[in-house]
């Protein structure tokens, strides 16, 4: 596609907003559509990590053997609503297949390529704007209170080393120096110093969307029901009426599967639900997002306090939230950070848009040169949203993206109806 065009972007999470901004820089007329406004989905409530070394899939080899123990631990990082099991079973089977050692090597090479391209577009998006202050170069930390817990992360560290990412293994003393407010119960830490923390992910996305509007973009609040094609042109069908567009980008996060189906594409997108509690500020506080490795939860410094984020719940998009498990983590969180006050300010459920191989889908709809998918970023959407947006804009402009898009093609699930 050459020359400026009208592009409709569906979904104003980090992926859609970043895509809209990069398209705008190419002088396209861009309409960004969201049924609830910017940062209404997962991009609002995540842990804020821009984790540039996270080249491992969630399904590492041997995960199957660890799942039963995780499910039996009522404070563990994994939950399944049993009624949802029949729906999620095919996804879980594909997840197990993707955890085969040879496939994990491939996936980590693919993730490494997009991660290496992820930092520059983040800076491009925030440069010269007030939101730049929200992107803080403080790294990402994992801590372990047992030798066994630390030993269990070895395969992940080896994988990172094979992909050329660096990290520092910290002794108890080094950990205390880096993050003095942590309880002295942690024996080891792994620090990823090149990573960033977004101090308020919701505000970041909302402010970037406001910048898009200030620069002439159109932000529309509407529910997209369908994408139709007539005489070679696309029309986005919304509850506010149709929008004619020369190109369409589907960036609707965990809700993208339904839109893909309307386009005749089946994709095994599901959601790994995750919760957060916003807790009152702590003094002394944390300097960077910190994961308790054995427990699988994160405490992240946030502009408004400390955000506690939980692991994964399989229950689909419609089941009501159950905040009991994350509330049970509060005493553990206080063990981790003794200055933490158990004063809950808000509770939130979000929907990670997840594919079984931990890779997003980025690229054109098979057989179409005017409709693009940009969804399925799972645990890494904040990290990879800007790289995705730039890559989509590159393809639409006829430029070569910074990383190979082929491994991200939806065709890997080969699923045209």
- Judged by CB under 6 A, the residue of 5, 7, 9, 16 near ligand FAD is 16
Q: Please tell me the distance from the alpha carbon of residue 360 to that of residue 16, in angstroms, as a whole number.
A: 14
In terms of CB distance, is 186 or 373 closer to ligand FAD? 373
**Binding residue count for ligand FAD, defined by CB under 6 A:** 42
Whole-number Å distance between alpha carbons of 200 and 215: 22
Q: Which two tokens stand for residue 186?
A: 């942690």
In the sheet with 371-375, reading across from the earlier edge strand, the strands are 218-221, 29-34, 6-10, 247-250, 371-375, 361-364
Closer Cβ to ligand FAD, 4 or 325, answer by number: 325
Residue 286 binding ligand FAD, by CB under 6 A: no
| Residues 288 to 327 in contact with ligand FAD, rule: CB under 6 A | 309
Burial class (CB in 10 A: 0-12, 13-18, 19+), 320: exposed
Identify the residue whose tokens are 């567009």. Answer: 245
> With binding defined as CB under 6 A, does residue 380 bind ligand FAD?
yes
Distance CA 243, CA 241 (A): 7
Q: Which residue, 27 or 244, has its beta carbon nearer to ligand FAD?
A: 244
φ, ψ for residue 326 (rounded to 5)? -70, -30
Could you tell me which stretch among 55-63, 68-76, 253-261, 362-370 binds ligand FAD (CB under 6 A)? 253-261
Question: What residues from 32 to 71 belong to the interface with ligand FAD (CB under 6 A)?
Answer: 33-36, 40-43, 46-49, 51
The verdict on 14 binding ligand FAD (CB under 6 A) reads yes
Query: Is residue 234 at the binding interface for ligand FAD, with CB under 6 A as the rule?
Result: no
Give Cα 124 distance to the centre of its chain. Answer: 19
Q: Which residue's entry shows tokens 């929008």?
A: 243
Which secondary structure element, helix H or strand E, spans residue 299, and what is its range? strand 297-302
Per-residue CA distances from 74 to 145, 277, 397 (Å) = 19, 18, 50
- Which listed residue (353, 356, 401, 407) binds ligand FAD by CB under 6 A? 353
Cβ 130 to ligand FAD, closest distance in Å? 21
H or E segment at 73? none
| Smallest separation (angstroms) from ligand FAD to the CB of 181 | 20
Q: Which residue, 149 or 360, is less far from ligand FAD as judged by CB?
A: 360
Please give the structure tokens belonging to residue 126: 């925030």
Q: Least distance (Å) from ligand FAD to the CB of residue 257?
A: 10
Identify which of residues 188 and 379 has a Cβ nearer to ligand FAD in the complex. Answer: 379
Give residues in contact with ligand FAD (CB under 6 A).
Answer: 10-16, 33-36, 40-43, 46-49, 51, 223-224, 251-255, 274, 276, 309, 350, 352-353, 375, 377-383, 385
């Amino acid at each position: 596609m050459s020359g400026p065009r009208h592009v409709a972007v569906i979904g104003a999470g980090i992926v859609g907003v970043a895509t809209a901004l990069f398209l705008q820089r190419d002088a396209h007329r861009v309409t960004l559509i969201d049924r609830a406004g910017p940062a209404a989905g997962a991009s609002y409530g995540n842990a804020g990590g821009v984790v540039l070394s996270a080249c491992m899939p969630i399904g590492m080899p041997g995960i199957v053997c660890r799942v039963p123990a995780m499910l039996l631990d009522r404070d563990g990082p994994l939950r399944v609503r049993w009624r949802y099991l029949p729906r999620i079973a095919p996804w879980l089977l594909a997840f197990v297949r993707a955890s085969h050692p040879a496939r994990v090597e491939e996936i980590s090479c693919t993730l490494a390529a997009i991660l290496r391209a992820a930092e520059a577009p983040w800076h491009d998006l925030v440069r010269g704007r007030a939101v730049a202050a929200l992107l803080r170069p403080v790294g990402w930390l994992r801590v372990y209170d047992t030798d066994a817990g630390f030993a269990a992360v070895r395969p992940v560290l080896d994988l990172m080393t094979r992909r050329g990412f660096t990290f520092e293994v910290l002794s108890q003393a080094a950990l205390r120096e880096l993050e003095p407010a942590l309880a002295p119960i942690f024996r080891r830490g792994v620090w990823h110093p090149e990573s960033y923390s977004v101090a308020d992910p919701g505000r970041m996305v909302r402010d970037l969307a406001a910048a898009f509007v200030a620069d002439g973009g159109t932000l529309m609040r509407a529910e997209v029901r369908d994408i139709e094609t007539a005489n070679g042109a696309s029309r986005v069908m919304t509850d506010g009426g149709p929008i004619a567009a020369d190109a369409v980008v589907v960036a609707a996060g965990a809700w993208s599967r339904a839109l893909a189906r309307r386009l005749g594409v089946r994709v095994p997108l599901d959601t790994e639900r995750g919760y957060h509690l916003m807790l009152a500020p702590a003094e002394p506080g944390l300097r960077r997002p910190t994961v308790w490795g054995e427990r699988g939860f994160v405490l992240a410094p946030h502009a408004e306090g400390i955000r506690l984020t939980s692991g994964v719940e399989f229950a689909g998009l419609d089941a009501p939230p159950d905040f009991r498990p994350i509330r049970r983590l509060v005493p553990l969180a206080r063990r981790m950070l003794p200055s933490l006050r158990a004063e809950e300010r808000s509770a939130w459920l979000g929907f990670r848009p997840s594919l079984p191989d931990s890779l997003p889908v980025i690229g054109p709809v098979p057989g179409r040169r005017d409709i693009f998918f940009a969804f399925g970023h799972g645990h890494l959407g904040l990290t990879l949203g800007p790289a995705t947006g730039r890559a989509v804009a590159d393809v639409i402009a006829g430029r070569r993206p910074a990383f190979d898009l082929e491994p991200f093609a939806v065709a890997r699930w080969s699923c045209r109806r």
